[in-house]
Structure 1
């Protein structure tokens, strides 16, 4: 008796499965006749029923129907392709060979749609959304270990998908960068930079900027990795000025001044007429000669370094006379020397003939340096004023140049000029 009941129960179960399976068949029939409302109703019912849910045929039917609905005006705004594509991804993972050609076509369409939505989300500054869309494009590419589409359409799709996936991963890194998530950017770029498609100058710049930000916020925790990445970027793009500047900052920050100086001197030797290289080298010479910490002793060769700074920056100004930052930097060398003479003057407290002579000698040297500083400083201000509007980092350079000029004019008793500069500073909100 018990056996009979079991048989009846088994038959009933089989019947229920067949009953539910008809909705999958009906859904596909309605799909073929473009009866979208009926197709959707049938497949939605089959997709939630325990007897048909998750089965290859059901996954396939829902996938093709929902992907096709993306091109139906009534449904496209709801982006049904996403739900359909997810069903196709499940099917590809569950049973890779099931109606492979049809599934691949739907997956390719889904990957392109996800990628486009990712780009649009990025442009709309919806960076988290962009990352999620791009993740799906990459996931589709990676099906079958990245080889699912090798033979699809005689292999014509595979390379395009490789490029799209690489672009998606790069876009994910840029979204993370825009969100200020430096640690995530570092992980993303390091995971894709060996891919020739992703090995770009821009990706290296984003990576180095992210290392700089992360180390600044985390006590230089990734200093070794940052140095290695900087060396790698410079080796890949030895002539890129942005990467050169970033290398300079990284080496400087990590106390690798000897290495940095050698690299920069070699660069200038190779390109003596490169104004940027001469400018950077001049700034480095001056920086090495004048430690930020006033308690720190100057290097023994400080005077030599300042002379070299003068030579390099003078060459930069000669090569690019209308560059205000170059002129300002050259002026700062003379201003620094004048300031040092002024400090020595302040140490003289005696009034003897010898003291007075020493004071006057120092004053003459100071004033000579101030007069030298005026020329490039005034040139920098004239260039900035001619622009009409000073923005970004140039604002700081402009204000600092004006402030130094005001002090020079005051010390040299050029009262009218000092007043004129003071008014400019006031108008600029300094």
Structure 2
């Protein structure tokens, strides 16, 4: 009896194993018939049994079923299950015949489904989850391409860029830099934002050589995108390349003669180059071409005022140009000893001071009127400019003994505090 019992037991085990292999086959057949729910139930049953749970074909069929579910439902979750199942199948049998014959299309479908989920999250501005899906898509691609199964999934340069973009938006700067640089190396040309963000990354890293190289590449690829001209000017400004900066700005104002904002910005930059200051605001030595720069700045301010005569800032800036030159001549005059004070040179300086003060006055007064008209709508930076304007007016009025205006200006200053 004991022998018979054992024999019967072995027969039972053999039958169960055959039954479970039949489950794998029926799962495959149901998949072929597009009966995905039945196929899923069959394969999960097979995976619960000792005889089939570690079989490469079982895992491969599971991968096929979940690939079909992922494709049908556009489900990244099912696609990832398919990927893990295919991995398991190849781990058990690296030379699985079916995998060699058909894995490329299946793995591409899995990769594409996960990648598309990344795009979907990107469109909803869900940056973190978008980046996670893109990373997973690259993992799937790299895994398959590293298996030498007779095919490969090509790199999608757009996905590389958008992975970098999503990472950047999610605050993952180092990850973003890796993918953005890779996209640029792959010559991705569809989206100028790649070069905007990558240039900003190089700027933040203090890599000036690659910062300007990225801008140069972008200008070739996107010649009509004005952002890269602005970025080039920013580069020249921040790296102290004033000759290049002013050359670019001069060309720009010539091309856009009626752009008030550009004209005023050009004038201010010329003024600043002519009157350099250190980080604490102290005056630095004047450049050798100081007079040339100041004459250009004066002409540019006047051009700006031709375009917008009542602009408070432009009027203030031109008034300040004359006023500051008067202050410089007055400083030179005060540096003379008593004997020199009666010289022809002193008289010449005194005349220049008075003329420049007189020139500055109407522009300061027009600026005063403009700032006053703005009232409570003045921004913080405009308030500081207005304050400087009033201090200059107060000084000019005092020199001219216009005491009533000195008092009126004093009250305006007090009201600004």
TM-score (norm 1): 0.68
Q: Which structure's CA Rg is the greater one?
A: 2
Q: Secondary structure at the match of 1:367?
A: helix
Q: 2:238 aligns with which of 225, 235, 253?
A: 253
- Residue of structure 1 in register with 2:227 after alignment: 242
Counterpart mapping for 1:1-400 below 5 A: 21-28=21-28, 36=37, 39=40, 42-43=43-44, 46=47, 52-53=53-54, 55=56, 58-65=59-66, 68=69, 79-87=77-85, 95=99, 97-98=101-102, 104-120=108-124, 123-124=125-126, 127-138=127-138, 165-193=156-184, 198-215=189-206, 222-275=207-260, 277-293=262-278, 294=282, 296-319=284-307, 328=313, 331-345=316-330, 348=334, 354=342, 361=351, 363-374=353-364, 377-378=367-368, 381=371, 385=374, 395-400=379-384
Residues 54-91 of structure 1 show CA distances to partners (whole Å, capped at 9, x for unaligned) of 8355234235337627978xx97x94443235545887
- In the comparison of the two structures, how many residue pairs are matched? 380
Q: 1:377 offset after TM fit, Å?
A: 3.4
Q: Secondary structure at the match of 1:193?
A: helix
Please say which of residues 175-184 and 303-312 is displaced more in the overlay.
Answer: 175-184
For the structure 1 residues 276 and 86, does the alpha-carbon distance in structure 2 shift closer, same or farther, using more than 3 Å as the test?
farther
Equivalent pair of 1:283/1:329 in contact (CA under 8 Å): no
Equivalent pair of 2:274/2:290 in contact (CA under 8 Å): yes
Q: Secondary structure at the match of 1:299?
A: coil
For the structure 1 residues 244 and 102, does the alpha-carbon distance in structure 2 shift closer, same or farther, using more than 3 Å as the test?
closer
Q: 1:250 offset after TM fit, Å?
A: 0.8
In 1: Cα distance, 2:135 partner to 2:198 partner = 20
Q: 1:261 offset after TM fit, Å?
A: 2.7
In 1: Cα distance, 2:370 partner to 2:15 partner = 89
For the structure 1 residues 86 and 396, does the alpha-carbon distance in structure 2 shift closer, same or farther, using more than 3 Å as the test?
farther
In 1: Cα distance, 2:305 partner to 2:357 partner = 22
In 2: Cα distance, 1:351 partner to 1:288 partner = 34
For the structure 1 residues 243 and 69, does the alpha-carbon distance in structure 2 shift closer, same or farther, using more than 3 Å as the test?
closer
| Structure 1 unmatched runs, 5+ | 1-12, 146-150, 152-157, 216-221
In 1: Cα distance, 2:302 partner to 2:85 partner = 67
Residues 302-326 of structure 1 show CA distances to partners (whole Å, capped at 9, x for unaligned) of 122022012223324434568x6xx
Residues 314-367 of structure 1 show CA distances to partners (whole Å, capped at 9, x for unaligned) of 324434568x6xx62563343144134325535627778739967854652453
For the structure 1 residues 199 and 80, does the alpha-carbon distance in structure 2 shift closer, same or farther, using more than 3 Å as the test?
closer
Q: 1:141 offset after TM fit, Å?
A: 6.8
Q: 1:168 offset after TM fit, Å?
A: 3.1
In 2: Cα distance, 1:83 partner to 1:289 partner = 67
Aligned-residue Cα RMSD (Å) equals 4.7
Residues 197-218 of structure 1 show CA distances to partners (whole Å, capped at 9, x for unaligned) of 5453322222222222222xxx
| Structure 2 unmatched runs, 5+ | 1-12, 146-150, 398-404
For the structure 1 residues 56 and 301, does the alpha-carbon distance in structure 2 shift closer, same or farther, using more than 3 Å as the test?
farther
Does 1:419 pair with 2:379? no
TM-score (norm 2): 0.70
- Residue of structure 1 in register with 2:7 after alignment: none
